[in-house]
Amino acid sequence: MFTQQRYRLRVLVGIISAVAALPASFALDITLPAETAAYKASELPGYRLVQQNCMTCHSAQYVQYQPSTSPRSYWEATVTKMKHSFAAPFADEDVPAMVDYLVKTYGAEQGHVATAPATTVATAVPPKATAPAVPVAGSSLQSEALLKANNCTACHAVEQKVVGPAFKEVAAKYAGKSDALQQVAANIREGGAGKWGTVPMPPFPGLTPAELDTLAKWVLSR
């Protein structure tokens, strides 16, 4: 019995020693698959907010695993949990629109997208030509307002990488390129993954050309 116990002990020690001798790179050499999931496109205001707010923390696949019969109260509880329990960086006023998009796209109200009231459709909209022109360079105040409104600093900082690259890294990458402004503006509008890693950047199709120009110039000036 004693001999058998000593044999087992020696085998165990040998296994532990062998594992400990493995190079550190063996355990860290992991390649994750590229992100391919995307939220279903919609004209609902919450679609852009969900892209902007949710993908800073997790893949779009998360929503695909939720019950398709889940009611509005379920999505309200889920989004509220993300905000208050997990400190997701989005504003409280974003919650209703996000919930509305989720329940009508993935939950119990699928296909129940409400039509805009006739009074809203009939409301006259001033032509874009009469809107005040945005300064070409964009003021610092305007740039900061756009950054805040679109939650850019949830994923980016000026000096260091957060979820996405630092703004200074982006400016350095495009420095000296004749089409730098157009490329950065297009990257903001279209989003995507692969340029800086596998974590996708959500698109911002709702930004106007002037707003994209202002943000791109601000990033490239860092």
Q: What CATH number has the domain bearing residue 181?
A: 1.10.760.10
- Within a domain: residue 34? no
| Lowest model confidence (mean pLDDT) among 89-103, 107-121, 177-191 | 107-121
CB atoms within 10 A of CB 21: 7
Residues 144 and 210 in one domain: yes
Q: Which residues of 27-51 are buried (b: 16+ CB within 10 A; e: fewer)?
A: eeeeeeeebeeebeeeebebbbbbb
Do 140 and 186 lie in a common domain? yes
Domain that holds residue 58: 45-105
pLDDT tens-digit series, residues 39-56: 888 889 888 888 888 876
In a domain, 93, yes or no: yes
| Final residue in a domain of this structure, among 67, 89, 105 | 105
Overall domain count for the chain: 2
Confidence of residue 131 (pLDDT cuts 50, 70, 90): very low
pLDDT in tens, 47-93: 888 888 887 677 777 888 888 888 899 889 888 888 888 788 888 89
- Domain identity same for 100 and 139: no
36 in any annotated domain:
no
Pair 97, 156 in one domain? no
Per the DSSP assignment, residues forming a β-bridge with 156 are 161
Task: Work out the angle between the directed axes of helices 209-220 and 180-190 (0-180°, nearest 10).
Answer: 120
| pLDDT > 50? residue 213 | yes
Beta carbons within 8 Å of 92's beta carbon, 6+ residues apart: 83
d(CA 78, CA 57): 14
Does 197 fall in a domain? yes
Q: In the structure encoding, which two tokens stand for residue 82, read together?
A: 């993300």
Residue 160 located in a structural domain: yes
